[in-house]
Amino acid sequence: MDFLNAIVAFANFVFVPGLAYGAQLAIGALGVTMIYGILRFSNFAHGDTMAFGTAITILFTTAFVGMGITFGPLPTALLALPFGIGATILLLLGTDWGVYKFYREQKASPVILVIVSMGVMFVMNGVVRFIIGVRDIRFADGERFIITAREFKEMTGLNEGLAIKTTQAITVVVALIAMALLFWFLNKTRTGKSMRAFSDNEDLALLSGINPDWVVKVTWMIVAALATTAGVLYGLDKSFKAFTYFQLLLPIFAAAIVGGLGNPLGAIAGGFVIAFSEVTITYAWKKVLTYLMPESLEPDGLVQLLSTDYKFAVSFAILIIVLLFRPTGLFKGQSV
Amino acid sequence: MSTQVRDTALFGLVAILLIGTGMIQGWNSALLILNMGLISAIMALGVNLQWGFAGLFNIGVMGFVALGGLAAVLVSTEPVPEAWQAGGLRIIAGLVLGALTVVAAVQAQKRLEGRTKTIATLVILVGGFFLYRAVFDPGKVAVEAVNPAVSGNLGGLNLPILLSWPVGGLLAAGAAWVIGKTALGLRSDYLAIATLGIAEIIIAVLKNEDWLARGVKNVIGLDRPVPYEIDLQQDPGFVERAASLGLDPVTASTLYTKVGYAILFTIVLLIILWLAQKALNSPWGRMMRAIRDNETAAEAMGKDVKGRHLQIFILGSAVCGVAGAMMTTLDGQLTPGTYQPLRFTFLVWVMVIVGGSGNNFGAVLGGMLIWWLWVQVEPLGLGLMNILSSGLEDGSALKERMIESAAHMRLLTMGVVLLLVLRFSPRGLIPER
């Protein structure tokens, strides 16, 4: 019985939150990796792109709720998501046309594009604050829990409860759908294949008649969809605040790099590696251990390896360790 | 127009902006902007050393600035004897153990082979971590329990705060050495993200390790290198002199201290600028630029690229550390919660790019100019919104929204300025020569 309790406590505090956070990071990292693989620079504006998409989605959510349109037990934000994605596509295509295109045609070095993306980051950050302000916004509605801790206890008769938030389940499901769509697109469609060819070898791809403008446009559209989805899922799970999205840059980059920049599979793996490391290292293991160990050996302290405020430190430490031993990430990444 | 005239005119523009601020918004505001502008110029010089001279992409400026701030606390505050008694030695011992663990792990990596290497490294790291925690944690708890309302930390050395400026540089240099040793081998993008992460770690440590500098409880009331306003106001001689200039004692005293800071900051800026110019025009500076422009060729000529990179990474970071210590001195307090990458890393980058990377005078100009803009965008934006919305009736939602949005003009303006400069004048206002 104690062993079961330990497993439930582990699932409740480590596995489920880690899975949801990992899925959010993975979708964010997929966007970063797509830009790196095809446009060949690290996009510092990615966190703020996510914030923009989420902000628009929130506006539509509020409007829908005002009009009385809801999604039953599911959050209304899911209905608003396509509109958020649409607006973000327009924003990114506009940014590419107004900003990045010039440098691409000049064949500027990647590091210049990174600095340019810093400028874009500033502008997008300002735009988001214009649109929605700096408040902390909760926009999840519908049912809060699929199963609450109390229901679980009654159902199983265990001491430990397992609570699964609706947003956590939605995150995982939506993430799976998004990933499946992306891989289907990259592996089966003509455009997807040409994007992969472009990413592998630009010159060869151009020689075989691939239209680079089209590839770039599609990339930005996919990135917009991924960024908005990641942002909305994160916002539903926690809350929306312009500044936290900016701070997500570090774990997202860490995930993309750990997996190997430019490699979509790697981004997903990296997202879960980072998320589970963060959660396991900053979780107080006392509860789980108390169930597992004989009474005489029970731990006194919280058995927490690092305090929760060191979350970012953990993602970074993993990043450095991976880079030291595998300079292109766990899966084979690209290098400029 | 010759380049010299142009450069002088640009610095003249900054002077006009500051004087204009003084005449319209008061001299106190102008001096406030000037002081932070001087500090920003020093930070920009530090980044320019790394990026402009050597092409190193460091976006961890915030971390080094914060370390400088830490130095101000560690140097100037009084030690807390009870805390030292409660657990000071334990903490030191813990830290030494931690450092030894890392050294041992590195040695194991170097000396052993194959599977033994992996296992030995893991055993050393994991064992060392728990040993470190076992020694360190009780000390930390004991120290933080000592009078947490006012101290709860070990305190500093009770030395003059001016000494903390070079110490801040040393602290930042030390951190840069450790970081450089591990991260400088990475390619440009990866190095950037590595430094971004390190800055976040430094801030996390400052926020959480209360025994060090009180964490988010902040350290306030740091010493000052200039007299206090209140003392000046009570000094009959000062009041008399103020009156003879036609100033009331309160205004005169605030101006006096700010001018005092400005003089100190200018001296430091001039010293660093002079050194940077010397370095730029020396064989060493030419070698740096050669490495920046073509690493492979420089390496083929027998230059130690990694060693040079480490050198300039340390130097640039040290300059940022000095600026950080100066800023904390000016504020009179260390508040780790206020260190944010947008303000202390990316804004400094805007300064360097706008001013002109690779040119020390450009960095100084960029620092002063962008800082002025950063401060003034909000009132200017508010004024603009007031004019634009003056046709709308009071209390209308649109009008309120427009006025409220002026507060968010800053980031937008900085981004637009950066993008415009990158596009139309990519070498900056005062380009590299």
Residue B91 makes CB contacts below 8 A (sequence gap 6+) with B136, B139, B140, B143, B154, B211
Q: Cα separations (Å) of B321 from A101, A172, B66, B81, B156?
A: 37, 44, 7, 28, 18
What sign for the dihedral angle of Cα A187, A188, A194, A197?
A: positive
Share of chain B above pLDDT 70, in %: 100
pLDDT grade, residue A300 (50/70/90)? low
Query: CB A324 to CB B182 under 8 A?
Result: yes
Query: CB B411 to CB A126 under 8 A?
Result: yes
Give the gap in angstroms from C-alpha A32 to the nearest C-alpha of chain B. Answer: 12
Tell whether B110 is within 8 A of chain A (Cβ): no
Beta bridge partners of B79: B155
Output B405 or B221, whichever has higher pLDDT: B221
For A115-137, the pLDDT digits (tens) are: 999 999 999 999 999 888 888 99
- Chain A residues closer than 8 Å to B193 by CB: 42, 250, 253-254, 257, 319
Confidence at residue A336, expressed as pLDDT on a 0 to 100 scale: 46
Query: CB A130 to CB B189 under 8 A?
Result: no
Query: CB A116 to CB B422 under 8 A?
Result: yes
Confidence at residue A3, expressed as pLDDT on a 0 to 100 scale: 84
Q: Cα separations (Å) of B187 from A50, B87, B106, B311?
A: 26, 42, 22, 17
Judged by average pLDDT, the poorest of A298-307, B152-161, B418-427 is: A298-307
Q: How far apart are the first and last CA of chain B?
A: 16
Average pLDDT, stretch B104-127?
90
Q: Among partner residues B194, B200, B415, which is closest to A126 by beta-carbon distance?
A: B415
- Chain A residues closer than 8 Å to B419 by CB: 99, 116, 119-120, 123
Confidence at residue A137, expressed as pLDDT on a 0 to 100 scale: 92
What CA–CA distance (Å, rounded) separates A27 from A38? 17
Closest Cα partner for A273 from A218, A321, A335, A203?
A: A321
What CA–CA distance (Å, rounded) separates B340 from B336? 9
How many residues are there in chain B?
A: 433
For A3-13, the pLDDT digits (tens) are: 888 888 889 99
Query: CB A336 to CB B350 under 8 A?
Result: no
Give the gap in angstroms from C-alpha B76 to the nearest C-alpha of chain A. Answer: 28
Q: Searching chain B, which residue's CA lies closest to the CA of residue A255?
A: B193
What CA–CA distance (Å, rounded) separates A163 from A12? 6
Average pLDDT, chain B: 92
Beta bridge partners of A137: A240
Query: CB B415 to CB A246 under 8 A?
Result: no
For B71-106, the pLDDT digits (tens) are: 999 999 999 999 999 888 999 999 999 999 999 998
Confidence at residue A323, expressed as pLDDT on a 0 to 100 scale: 75
Give the gap in angstroms from C-alpha A110 to the nearest C-alpha of chain B. Answer: 8
For B279-316, the pLDDT digits (tens) are: 999 999 999 999 999 989 999 999 999 999 999 999 99
Output B239 or B389, whichever has higher pLDDT: B239
Rank B130-144, B229-243, B346-360 by mean pLDDT and report only the highest.
B346-360
- Chain B residues closer than 8 Å to A257 by CB: 190, 193
Confidence at residue B225, expressed as pLDDT on a 0 to 100 scale: 93
What CA–CA distance (Å, rounded) separates B196 from A249? 10
Confidence at residue A216, expressed as pLDDT on a 0 to 100 scale: 95
Give burial (CB, 10 Å; 0-12/13-18/19+) of B246.
exposed
Test mutation, B184, B187, B188, B411, chain A, max A CBs within 10 A: B411
Tell whether B349 is within 8 A of chain A (Cβ): yes
Average pLDDT, chain A: 90
ipTM (interface predicted TM): 0.91
What CA–CA distance (Å, rounded) separates A110 from B158? 48
Residue A3 Cα to chain centre, angstroms:
33
Tell whether B102 is within 8 A of chain A (Cβ): no
pLDDT grade, residue A202 (50/70/90)? confident
Output B353 or B393, whichever has higher pLDDT: B353
Query: CB B409 to CB A126 under 8 A?
Result: yes
Q: Among partner residues A134, A257, A313, which is closest to B193 by beta-carbon distance?
A: A257
Beta bridge partners of A165: A145
Residue B394 pLDDT greater than 80, yes or no: no
